Amino acid sequence: MNTQTSNRLILRNGQLLDLQQGRLIAGQEVLIEGDRIIAVRPQSRVPEAGVQAYDLNGKTLMPGMIDCHVHVLASNANLGLNALQPNAIIMYRALPILEAMLGRGFTTVRDAGGADWALARSIELGLVPGPRIFASGKALSQTGGHGDMRARGWLLLNEPCSCCFRAGAIARIVDGVDNVRLAVREELQQGASQIKIMASGGVASPTDPIANTQYSEAEIRAIVDEAEAANTYVMAHAYTPRAIRRAIECGVRTIEHGNLVDADTARLMAERNAFAVPTQVTYEMLAEHGARFGLAQESVAKIEEVRLAGRNALRLFAEADVPMGYGSDLLGEMHEYQTHELKIRAEILGNLAALRSATTVAAQILQREGELGCIAPGALADLLVVNGNPLTDIDCLIGQGENLAMIIQDGSIKKNTLT
Ligand code: ZN
Ligand code: ZN
């Protein structure tokens, strides 16, 4: 990938993907200055003088995609082992993961545990190629929760704090109303964009059945209270209707996974203006490759509980009009399947819904509507030039970015095979 910064550039002869109407629009040109789009206007006959012009030759121009649930530091599918790796190894192993995400067309990601402000800032400074990161810092987990990677019998040998502040840990263990308040304040002070909590059992942890709820309501309310005080919000890992309902009633804004949701709980989410971030691809890939890539045996046994229900959850969220953001949640070597979630969504919900999940809806989740996930004056210039029409053929976005002729992030050209 080459990096080139140009002050003013113009994209001509493309077909703009209109995500409101679900169609392509010809005859428009997009003018970029610095990191922003400054005009989307009818195409002039001759390009403006002094502006670098690119002829897109009828290819599709769409916003850079946004993945709302990733763990860029999870280079090992076994999260317990990941947490024990030295910090330098974790960071070096994250570099190709980040670069590959950008290469697939994800110009922004929301990290659901692990990545911190320093990593986000390194990308912003151009030190590391990768998607813009909305970091959560460490996710908050109760003792024995989804972020507690200790096997039974380890308790006295391995204090939580000796491992959960290492770079490779996606979560920290914290219990009690006062302590969770302090933990939220610490994560925000360290630069977290939003707060992630574990509100039910999970797959990649050894001692917490999926059906368990996690954190008391008092703890969740305290966490939400602190996040809202800082004008941000809480995202919660939750699978069952019981876990989702109590999270939503305590003020959580986005439900991660949500595989076992029922119709009533989906309706409650819609009433409370909550979002869902399903991550179906990770269950499909864990079922297929998890054991081979080192997922612990206790975790392999839990996958089927949530995998089949996950496809139905997509339908239930859609029926209840719960807006769905794009999530992949892949671990270790499985990161390469990041775009397959698009294929799953397209099969069940249609191509346009799949595309919106990774653009307009994702921008709402990030509270950056009009700035991300759209092609409009004032938006950040994050753009993809695609060989093909993703409205009729989602396959042009599947894979490792083979059909992306151009990737622009913050007005800077990260890939260009046009010329
Ligand atoms: Zn999770
Ligand atoms: Zn996750």
Q: What mean pLDDT do residues 212-221 have?
A: 98
Whether 1 shows a pLDDT value over 90: the answer reads no
Which among 65, 197, 80 has a CA at the least distance from the CA of 137? 197
The alpha carbon of 351 and the centre of ligand 2 are apart by a number of angstroms equal to 24
For residue 237, give the ligand nearest its CA.
1
Q: Tell me: the pLDDT tens digits for 313-342? A: 999 999 999 999 999 999 999 999 999 999
Whether 164 shows a pLDDT value over 80: the answer reads no
The alpha carbon of 189 and the centre of ligand 1 are apart by a number of angstroms equal to 23
pLDDT at 77: 86
The pair of structure tokens assigned to 205 is 């942890």
pLDDT at 50: 85
Rounded CA-CA distance 16/55 in Å is 13
The alpha carbon of 71 and the centre of ligand 2 are apart by a number of angstroms equal to 6
Q: Per residue in 244-280, is it b (16+ CB within 10 Å) or e — as a string?
A: bbbbbebbbbbbbbbbbbbeebbebbbeeebbbbbbb
Q: What is the 3-state secondary structure (H, E, C) of the chain?
A: CCCEECCEEEEEEEEEEECCCCEEEEEEEEEEECCEEEEEEECCCCCCCCCEEEECCCCEEEECEEEEEECCCCCCCCHHHHHHCCHHHHHHHHHHHHHHHHHCCEEEEEECCCCCHHHHHHHHCCCCCCCEEECCCCEEECCCCCCCCCCCCCCCCCCHHHHCCCCCCCEEECCCHHHHHHHHHHHHHCCCCCEEEECECCCCCCCCCCCCECCCHHHHHHHHHHHHHCCCCEEEEECCHHHHHHHHHCCCCEEEECCCCCHHHHHHHHHCCCEEECCHHHHHHHHHHCCCCCCCHHHHHHHHHHHHHHHHHHHHHHHCCCCECCCCCCCHHHHHHCCHHHHHHHHHHCHHHHHHHCCHHHHHHCCCECCECCCCCCCECCEEEECCCCCCCHHHHCCCCCCEEEEEECCEEEEECCC
The answer to whether 398 and 390 are in contact (CB under 8 A) is no
Q: What mean pLDDT do residues 23-48 have?
A: 94
The alpha carbon of 139 and the centre of ligand 2 are apart by a number of angstroms equal to 9
Share above pLDDT 90 across residues of the chain, in percent, rounded to a whole number: 83
pLDDT at 162: 45
For residue 115, give the ligand nearest its CA.
2
Tokens 């809480």 appear where?
Answer: 234
Alpha carbon separation from 247 to 262, 295, 416 (Å, rounded): 15, 28, 44
Q: What values do phi and psi take at 8, rounded to 5?
A: -130, 130
Whether 396 shows a pLDDT value over 70: the answer reads yes
pLDDT at 311: 94
Q: What mean pLDDT do residues 73-81 have?
A: 90
pLDDT at 4: 47
pLDDT at 149: 84
Which among 65, 85, 63 has a CA at the least distance from the CA of 75? 85
Q: What mean pLDDT do residues 31-42 have?
A: 97
Mean pLDDT of all residues in the chain? 93
Q: Tell me: the pLDDT tens digits for 249-262? A: 999 999 999 999 99
Better-predicted residue by pLDDT, 291 or 115: 115
pLDDT at 269: 98
For residue 328, give the ligand nearest its CA.
2
pLDDT at 231: 98
Confidence of residue 158 (pLDDT cuts 50, 70, 90): low
pLDDT at 97: 98
The alpha carbon of 190 and the centre of ligand 2 are apart by a number of angstroms equal to 20
The alpha carbon of 254 and the centre of ligand 2 are apart by a number of angstroms equal to 13
Whether 6 shows a pLDDT value over 80: the answer reads no
pLDDT at 5: 45
pLDDT at 296: 79
The alpha carbon of 39 and the centre of ligand 1 are apart by a number of angstroms equal to 39
Structural domains in the chain, sorted by start: 8-64+373-416 (2.30.40.10), 65-365 (3.20.20.140)
Whether 157 shows a pLDDT value over 60: the answer reads no
The alpha carbon of 284 and the centre of ligand 2 are apart by a number of angstroms equal to 14
Whether 310 shows a pLDDT value over 50: the answer reads yes
The answer to whether 143 and 175 are in contact (CB under 8 A) is yes
